[in-house]
């Protein structure tokens, strides 16, 4: 039980005043961006990344991790009270959560979701702590070919399987690769796509890419529709106690556990974060309710339908942290941002991180637990207070985001050329939003692309150009086979829906013609 003593040491570091302060700042910020629709924790980390250069890395990562979890606590608040989920991870919670709110159980729905987020995250973090040494053992047998296979897995999964349109996902992926290729090639020293200007020798900073895409692109996108009129939303004000009664507990304990069981494995594989497991958890609860003859689903709002997706959402965040620290594999946009943060500090997440930077990793893991407790405290009784954030006029919100984006980009190197690049990428990001091209593949490709290239070239250099080495070990074969199966499944699904859509359309056309 080495882990426990490491974790105890980690708690000792996490409990210092400075780190606790970062933890609380991160929790508050994370909840805030979670509550506000349109803002996400990936954007928050991107904006904070450049301004935290001068901080000690442990403090910065503690803050980022608690932003990540905080976003998942906050996002259901606006979903439940306003029927506008703060993030896509809360869509599944919103179905039943908003129904409960409309039936006068808003406080209970908020409480259920906060407790679910806590439990899911907590269980996942416990599992990460206990499995961390095994993940590291597994990762140690990884050679260049295995790392390349893992990166390919992440690329294909995020762009082709998860994205709504396969082609558009792949376009985004290609753009990310291209952005990451600019600069001097580390292995040969050749200048690549620098147009001869020294400005680009170091490549395009990942901060420029992320702030441009996530923040500036979002601001321009909002500009394209914000003045088009917006009916006043009615926020349901939560009354009553958010705490669950014993009868409620009896109802929700199993959904909490089922949700967590869906969330934990999905956090460790790169399918874009918590949407898939939250929907799986929601769908399961709904089917079970149907079998039980439970009529709450879809009518008065079922507490189970809130509990399971919330637990699933935060469970993915926990195991995503495990995959991030142990394998260096980002499984969501926010995790990708944290990889970028590690690179900024000159660390490469992966098995070596546990050995080389144990003084960072264990306090980080310990602070995940502390962060969850703090998030529960600031979310369970005060959800109604957080809902007040929704009253901030949106023009001030987006003006502030713009100012913070240019601040962050300028802070990288105090040069305006970064600002021009960020603006250009922001315009591209707006175009991508406008044309429904997903952004997450760009981030994953830009962040993992250089690693994939290095590993591919290393593998091929070892084998003297024989591509057979890429599928030479059992582990790579397993990864590629799983990937092929997922792609086939997803392709079939797209086909089936396309066919169903077509028949539905032709039917409605016929009806229209008959009239």
Partner 1 sequence: MTGAPEPTAVTTGTLRALRTPRWFTGRSELIVVAGVLALAVGMTIGIVTMQVPDGTAFPGPQFFPIIVAAFLYAVGLALGISVLVSPRRAHVADDPTELSTDMLEDLGGLDATSEIRVVAPETLAAAHGATAPGGLDVKTVLITVGALVAFILALPVLGWLLSAAALFWVLAWAFGSARPLLDIGIAVIVSSFVQLAFGVGLGLSLPAGILEGAFPWIS
List binders of partner 1 among 403-422 (CB under 8 A): 403-404, 406-407, 410-411, 414, 416, 419-420
Nearest Cα residue to 111 out of 293, 376, 348: 376
Q: Please report whether residue 147 would count as binding partner 1 according to CB under 8 A.
A: no
Cβ(149)–Cβ(476) below 8 Å: yes
Of the candidate residues 1, 2, 17, 190, the single one contacting partner 1 (CB under 8 A): 190
Tokens of 246: 């014993």
Quote the least distance from Cβ 400 to partner 1, whole Å.
Answer: 6
Whichever of 10 and 273 has its CB closer to partner 1, that residue is 273
Beta-carbon contacts of residue 68 (< 8 Å; ≥ 6 apart): 30, 41, 45, 317, 321, 334, 335, 338
Contacts of 364 (CB under 8 A, 6+ apart): 10, 58, 61, 62, 65, 321, 325
When asked if residue 288 is in the footprint of partner 1 (CB under 8 A), the reply is no
Whichever of 98 and 304 has its CB closer to partner 1, that residue is: 98
Among 29, 430, 447, 448, indicate the residue that binds partner 1 (CB under 8 A).
Answer: 430
CB contact at 8 A, 236 and 102? yes
How many residues form the binding site for partner 1 (CB under 8 A)? 117
Tell me how far CA of residue 428 lies from CA of 44, 169, 207, 219, 295, in angstroms.
20, 15, 15, 12, 47
How many other CB atoms are found less than 10 A from the CB of residue 53?
13
- Examine residue 224 and tell whether it contacts partner 1 (CB under 8 A): yes
Q: What angle, 0 to 180 degrees and rounded to 10, lies between the N-to-C axes of helices 106-140 and 57-82?
A: 140
Alpha-helical runs (H) found in 380-473: 383-387, 394-413, 416-434, 440-462
Per CB under 8 A, contacts with partner 1 among 431-450 are 431, 433-440
Q: Which is nearer to partner 1, 138 or 222 (CB)?
A: 222
Determine the interface stretch with partner 1 among 13-21, 131-139, 175-183, 334-342 (rule: CB under 8 A). Answer: 175-183
Sites for partner 1 among residues 256-275 (CB under 8 A)? 272-273, 275
Which range binds partner 1 by CB under 8 A, 131-139, 234-242, 363-371, 389-397?
389-397
- Residue 283 or 381: the one with the smaller Cβ distance to partner 1 is 283
What is the per-residue binding string for partner 1 in 59-98, x denoting contact by CB under 8 A? --------------------x---xxx--x--xx-xx--x
183 phi and psi angles, rounded to 5 deg: 120, 180
Non-local (6+) Cβ contacts of 5 within 8 A are none
* The one among 140, 292, 356, 497 contacting partner 1 by CB under 8 A: 497
Which span sits near partner 1 by CB under 8 A: 155-163, 316-324, 334-342, 363-371? 155-163
89/128 with CB nearer partner 1: 89
């Amino acid at each position: 039980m080495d882990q426990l003593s490491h974790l105890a040491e980690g708690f000792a570091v996490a409990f210092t005043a400075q780190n606790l302060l970062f933890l609380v700042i991160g929790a508050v910020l994370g909840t805030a961006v979670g509550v506000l629709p349109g803002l996400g924790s990936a954007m928050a980390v991107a904006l904070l990344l450049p301004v935290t250069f001068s901080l000690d890395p442990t403090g910065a990562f503690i803050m980022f991790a608690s932003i990540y979890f905080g976003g998942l606590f906050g996002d259901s608040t606006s979903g439940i009270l306003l029927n506008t989920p703060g993030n896509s991870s809360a869509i599944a919670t919103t179905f039943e959560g908003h129904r409960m709110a409309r039936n006068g159980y808003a406080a209970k729905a908020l409480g259920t979701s906060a407790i679910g987020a806590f439990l899911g995250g907590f269980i996942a973090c416990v599992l990460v702590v206990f499995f961390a040494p095994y993940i590291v053992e597994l990762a140690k047998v990884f050679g260049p070919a295995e790392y390349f296979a893992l990166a390919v897995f992440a690329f294909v999964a995020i762009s082709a399987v998860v994205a709504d349109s396969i082609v558009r996902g792949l376009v985004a992926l290609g753009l990310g690769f291209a952005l990451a290729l600019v600069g001097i090639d580390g292995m040969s020293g050749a200048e690549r796509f620098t147009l001869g200007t020294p400005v680009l020798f170091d490549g395009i900073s990942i901060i420029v890419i992320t702030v441009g895409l996530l923040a500036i692109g979002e601001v321009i996108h909002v500009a394209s529709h914000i003045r088009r009129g917006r009916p006043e939303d009615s926020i349901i004000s939560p009354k009553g106690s958010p705490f669950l009664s014993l009868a409620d507990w009896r109802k929700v304990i199993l959904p909490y556990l089922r949700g967590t069981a869906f969330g934990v494995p999905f956090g460790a594989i790169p399918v874009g974060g918590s949407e898939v497991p939250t929907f799986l958890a929601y769908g399961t609860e709904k089917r079970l309710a149907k079998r039980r003859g439970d009529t709450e689903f879809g009518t008065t709002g079922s507490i189970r339908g809130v509990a399971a997706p919330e637990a699933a959402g935060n469970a993915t965040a926990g195991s995503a942290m495990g995959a991030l620290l142990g394998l260096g594999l980002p499984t969501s946009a926010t995790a990708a941002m944290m990889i970028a943060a590690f690179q900024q500090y000159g660390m490469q997440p992966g098995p070596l991180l546990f050995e080389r930077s144990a003084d960072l990793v264990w306090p980080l893991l310990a602070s995940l637990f502390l962060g969850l407790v703090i998030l529960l405290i600031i979310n369970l009784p005060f959800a109604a207070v957080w809902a007040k954030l929704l009253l901030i006029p949106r023009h001030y919100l987006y003006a502030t985001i713009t100012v913070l984006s240019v601040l962050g980009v300028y802070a990288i190197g105090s040069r305006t050329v970064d600002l021009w690049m960020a603006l250009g990428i922001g315009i591209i990001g707006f175009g991508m939003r406008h044309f429904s091209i997903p952004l997450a593949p760009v981030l994953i490709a830009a962040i993992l692309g250089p690693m994939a290239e290095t590993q591919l070239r290393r593998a091929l250099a070892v084998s003297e150009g024989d591509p057979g080495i890429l599928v030479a070990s059992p582990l790579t074969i397993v990864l590629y086979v799983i990937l092929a199966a997922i792609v086939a499944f997803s392709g079939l699904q797209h086909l089936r829906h396309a066919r169903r859509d077509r028949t539905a359309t032709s039917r409605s056309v016929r009806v229209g013609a008959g009239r």
